[in-house]
Amino acid sequence: MTKKSNFTRHLLATAGWGVCAGLLAMSLPQSAQAGQDAYTPVTASMLNGAQSNDGWLMFNRDYSGRNYAPFTQITPQNVSKLSVAWTSGKIDIPDGFEDTPIVNGDYMFVTTPKDHVIAYNAVTGAKLWEYDYQVPAAAYKTVCCDTNNRGVALSGNLAIFGTLDNHVVALNAQTGAVVWNVSIEDPGIGYSISEAPLVVNGKVIIGSGGGEYGARGFIQALDAQTGAKLWKTYTTAAPNQPGGDTWPAGAYKTGGGAPWMTGTYDPDTNTLFWGAGNPGPWLATMRPGKNLYTDSLLAIDPDTGALKWYYQYTANDTWDYDGVNTPMLTNLTYKGKDYKAIVEANRNGYFYAIDRTTGKLIYAKVFVHDTSIKGIVNGQAVGNDAVRPALDKTIFTCPSFLGGKNWWPAAVDPATNMAYVPTLHACMSMTGVPVSYAAGLPFLGETFKMEPDPASPGVLGSFQAIDLSTGKQVWQKKTAAPWDGGALATAGGVVFSGTPNGHLLAFDGKTGKTLWKSPDLGSGIIAAPISYEVNGKQYVAVWSGWGGVWPIWSGKLGAPLAKAPRGGQLYVFQVNQ
């Protein structure tokens, strides 16, 4: 099946459910319940770590992006005593639940597919308020990969989120009332927003989606208190800009490069780090050149939007190897030299360590079977010309367009000096076909099909630990199903991640030993778990709710999960003493 027909199939399925299908019976915001603590406004010092933080204040918990919780109550010795503290109950939306809950004190904020926001008491699960954003039908036309929303950002008394029709909305965190609502692009022409924003220096930073539609990617900054637009940085270079000569005439205008995942930030150097996605169209023969700044890590001044430096993971990409996976900030030692680094498991199959002060490569090590990239030469990946699609030319290569790792967060534990990486083991065939740009329609120039990986027969997923000092694998858990759930590392030495068959697993971070397996949570897990403390007690929370990219694009490889239960449910666990 071609990608265009897949897009059409997904659109019809989404439209069939409509905006109101089973949407929690949401209505106007309700008042917070009696007994709820007063809301503590989120300050810049809370976000940058200058104040202690028992919660989970942003998408990856803190600016480092490491998905690491510095809590020690849950350990390898007692994790087997985890049990459900509370649950949201089932939410009857049949799309993927990819939200990261955000916790400030005893307030928890979550989002669901189709852009709904709910506030809970983080200890009891009591619902405080709910807000139903009305997504216009036009927005669903250009949603390539499910109707997911990955969460809110906090600033002052506001909970801020993006929408599928390219609005950024700020709600009163205590009541759910709308404070401001700003449109940053029209719906239906290619753009969409699914990521959680990031608040830096009083600014809301958010990136656009839409690379599969040729929408020119951008990162937008807004004033957190008013929604006023402050700066906008495009991720494809125009002719009068550095990198503009890496595109054929005019191609940058439909060049994709969507920065569709939440970035990270270094307060010490006042530098924002954000990944840019695939170029458009997919067929690279239509746009010779490196196509900057697609498939790149961008270092940006958050005050002005100016580019400080970039590192391109995959030049002239023709395999859909977006560079948007979270850039995680950590310190490491490699070959006897200390670095302030960024590490990332890239979709092109290489695990990267990059000097975050200079943008220079420290190392890049393959972490999954890879035939698209021949190797690293002079600090850059070299593509394999033998497996580059062309018109009427079909190729077979690995990894697939979903990558060695897709968007789901990895985690870094500074104590074990390891990264924990959800990994896909799949390949693909691709064929070049003619295409022309039309706003609001897929702009690909390739058909494709997911294929098994001959290097990993019977294996579609794994969860692996990588030594940051070497880039080499320490341990790995292989599965017949894809591994689509994000990772959480904790200071207690326990690492968590969920599975498509609906179980949250706990591993010993050092050895990979499975320490605990949750009961069946009713649907597959594609979100990342979090951990937080309230009144000195540690909790772990995760959404179940199967959906996302795998069931839409996996073809025959996805048949075993084709009838997996749908619908979301938030689970919060605690240790029974």
Q: For residue 404, give the nearest of 374, 372, 377, 430 by alpha carbon.
A: 372
Handedness of CA 318, 561, 411, 88 (dihedral sign): positive
- Asked if 505 and 497 touch (Cβ cutoff 8 Å), the reply is yes
Contact 414, 343 (CB under 8 A): no
Q: How far is CA 359 from the centre of its chain?
A: 22
Q: Which residues contact 450 (CB under 8 A, 6 or more apart)?
A: 400, 402, 426, 427, 428, 553, 554, 555, 556, 557, 558
**How many C-beta atoms surround the C-beta of residue 502 within 10 A?**
20
Cis peptide upstream of residue 399 (ω within 30 degrees of 0): yes
Identity at 399, one-letter amino acid code: P
Which among 40, 114, 55, 156 has a CA at the least distance from the CA of 539?
Answer: 55
Residue 160 φ/ψ, nearest 5 degrees: -120, 135
What sign has the CA pseudo-torsion 512, 514, 516, 518? positive
Q: Is 211 helix (H, G, I), strand (E, B) or coil?
A: helix
E strands of 289-445, at which residues? Answer: 296-300, 307-312, 328-334, 337-345, 350-355, 361-366, 373-377, 380-383, 394-397, 411-413, 418-424, 426-432
Residue 55, token pair as written in the block: 């919660």
Give the integer Cα–Cα distance in Å for 106 and 124. Answer: 9
**Residue in 205, 157, 416, 176 with CA at minimum distance from that of residue 304:** 205
Catalytic residue among 106, 320, 370, 413: 320
| DSSP character at residue 124 | T
The values of phi and psi at residue 85, to 5°, are -85, -45
Between CA 423 and CA 219 the distance in angstroms is: 27
Q: Which residues pair with 350 in a beta bridge?
A: 366
Confirm whether 245 is a catalytic residue.
Answer: no
Name the one residue in this structure whose structure tokens are 């605690």: 574
- Torsion angle (degrees, nearest 10) of CA 16, 20, 25, 31: 150
- DSSP structure class, residue 99: -
Place of tokens 């250009």: 142
CA distance 65 to 71: 16
Distance CA 115, CA 341 (A): 34
Q: Which residues are catalytic?
A: 320
